[in-house]
Amino acid sequence: MGGTQFWRADPSPGLLADYGPLGAVARGRVNLDRVRTHWPDMLRVAGPLVTSKVRAYDLIRMISRDGNPTPLGQAFTEYGRVDKTLHLLAMVDPVDETYRRRVTRQLNVQESRHRLARKIFHGQRGELRQAYREGQEDQLGALGLVLNAVVLWNTRYIDAAVRALRAAGQPVTDNDVARLSPLGHEHINLLGRYAFPRPVAQPVLRALRDPSADDLASP
């Protein structure tokens, strides 16, 4: 199991639970008393988070002080250990195989995004070279802007291609479309000069390439 650690809540302080083969990694205990004590405050924090009514600065101030977690922050830590343990148990011995497949699919999407970001951020080998936080934030913001532009470009043309195939009588199912990803970059030239003309009122997409044509390798 490597460094994996499960957290447990024993039935009572004087009774040890038997976790079978997982007993060796079930070393920690969840302090449920902390969660019970601060549960109302945790709900008051969770509500504004869902509605985006709380700032990140205010949240950090509530759960951490001078680099150490506050009692409320410790309660969130204990609650997170419960969720983490349930996740690990579902991965080790899943009751529903679809859970593991969903996790793997999400990891693949995340890695595809990182791969595209590394490809775009080729000049400095994916390293932030600005010495100040403002400069690093500018670099990350520019990277995110270009990455989102690529995703938008791919999404629009994937949608156009799917519509064209269906109009031509090709059987393109919704399950096939669900497996398409806008994170591909093999067809995009990431080197050279870039022009950003003023957008027209109603932009028109380029004509789709003919799969039987010989110009697929051209930029």
CB of 31 closer than 8 Å to CB of 71? no
pLDDT tens digit sequence for 71-82: 999 999 999 988
pLDDT tens digit sequence for 158-194: 999 999 999 988 888 988 898 899 998 888 888 777 7
Question: Is pLDDT larger for residue 104 or for residue 9?
Answer: 104
Give Cα separations from 152 to 32, 136, 149, 182, 183 (angstroms): 45, 24, 5, 8, 10
Mean pLDDT of 111-128: 79
98 pLDDT tier (thresholds 50, 70, 90): confident
Model confidence, pTM: 0.58
pLDDT score recorded for residue 6: 55
138 pLDDT tier (thresholds 50, 70, 90): confident
Task: Give me the torsion for CA of 53, 55, 60, 65, rounded to 10°.
Answer: -100
Task: Give me the torsion for CA of 170, 172, 173, 176, rounded to 10°.
Answer: 150
Q: Could you tell me the residue ranges of all domains in the chain?
A: 7-93, 104-178
Residue 219: is its pLDDT beyond 60?
Answer: no
